Amino acid sequence: NHVLEDIPWVFYAPTLPGYPKEEEGWIFKKLLDNGIAIAGIDVGESYGNPEGVQLFTELYNMLTTNNKLSKKVSLLARSRGGLMLFNWAAVNPEKVSCIAGIYPVSNLLSYPGIKKASKAYGYSEEEFIKHLKENNPIDHLDKIIEYKIPMYYIHGDIDETVPLKDNSAIMKARMDSLGGDMKLDIIKGQGHNLWKGWFQNEQLLKFILSNIHR
């Protein structure tokens, strides 16, 4: 009997009411046309908390067991999806082939801020500060580095919602200092918006396609 190979796939976040939007249509169609499945799960405004991460794992287990999707998945994050997917990757690095991001959040202090994040994580604000490093993407890069997971982020230099300097720029500086593999494309004159260049980005697509079978 001819056994079909495991189907390559992309984990997308956030999958919330209204997300993904029609803007993702271009890259989703390109992925599907290349035989790549796309999946996501609504974990609410979890901001990368352990409960949300656990739901990602449950979906991953179901898809890789029952639906024959590949054990290695590529991650594609938009905005706060960066918190969700990165925190999942940090505890499941052996399952990740690459991480791609469109102005992704990398720093809970920057977005959504301590007040909202502490509620999502079930801590008081004071307690959350004590647990920040174990939950903040920019502070737990060790497994990403150890497993040599390549990253590619695109971010605008006038983003006010998820500022470049507090998110992707810190992530890039720390990845570089630790010997990680991350490319950061800084887009001049763009903010946190629906500009076509974010979503119809050939370089982002090429990065996913070239790493999907890693």
Average pLDDT over residues 58-71: 93
Contacts with 163 (C-beta within 8 Å, 6 or more apart), sequence order? 110
The Cα–Cα gap between 96 and 65 comes to 16
Rg (CA), the chain: 16
How much is the pLDDT for 67? 83
Residue keyed to tokens 């399952």 = 95
Q: Tell me which residue of 144, 121, 143 sits closest to 132, measured CA to CA.
A: 121
The Cα–Cα gap between 143 and 151 comes to 13
Task: Report residue 4's pLDDT band, with 50, 70 and 90 as the boundaries.
Answer: low
Share above pLDDT 70 across residues of the chain, in percent, rounded to a whole number = 98
Q: What is the mean pLDDT of the chain?
A: 96
The values of phi and psi at residue 93, to 5°, are -65, -30
* Contact indicator for 204, 183 with CB cutoff of 8 Å: no
Q: Residue 14 to residues 4, 20, 33: CA-CA distances in angstroms?
A: 30, 7, 22
**H/E element holding 76?**
strand 73-78
Task: Report residue 66's pLDDT band, with 50, 70 and 90 as the boundaries.
Answer: confident
Question: How are strands ordered across the β-sheet holding 96-102?
Answer: 37-39, 9-13, 73-78, 96-102, 151-156, 182-187
How much is the pLDDT for 136? 98
Contacts with 1 (C-beta within 8 Å, 6 or more apart), sequence order? none
**H/E element holding 56?**
helix 50-65
Average pLDDT over residues 175-185: 98
Share above pLDDT 90 across residues of the chain, in percent, rounded to a whole number = 94
Q: Tell me which residue of 83, 31, 89 sits closest to 60, measured CA to CA.
A: 89
Model pLDDT for residues 145-168, shown as the tens digit of each residue: 999 999 999 999 999 999 999 999
In this model, does residue 101 exceed pLDDT 80?
Answer: yes
Task: Report residue 60's pLDDT band, with 50, 70 and 90 as the boundaries.
Answer: very high
Model pLDDT for residues 115-124, shown as the tens digit of each residue: 999 999 999 9
Q: Can you say whether the dihedral through the CA atoms of 34, 104, 203, 158 is positive or negative?
A: positive
Q: Can you say whether the dihedral through the CA atoms of 134, 182, 179, 174 is positive or negative?
A: negative
How much is the pLDDT for 2? 38
Model pLDDT for residues 6-32, shown as the tens digit of each residue: 899 999 999 999 999 999 999 999 999
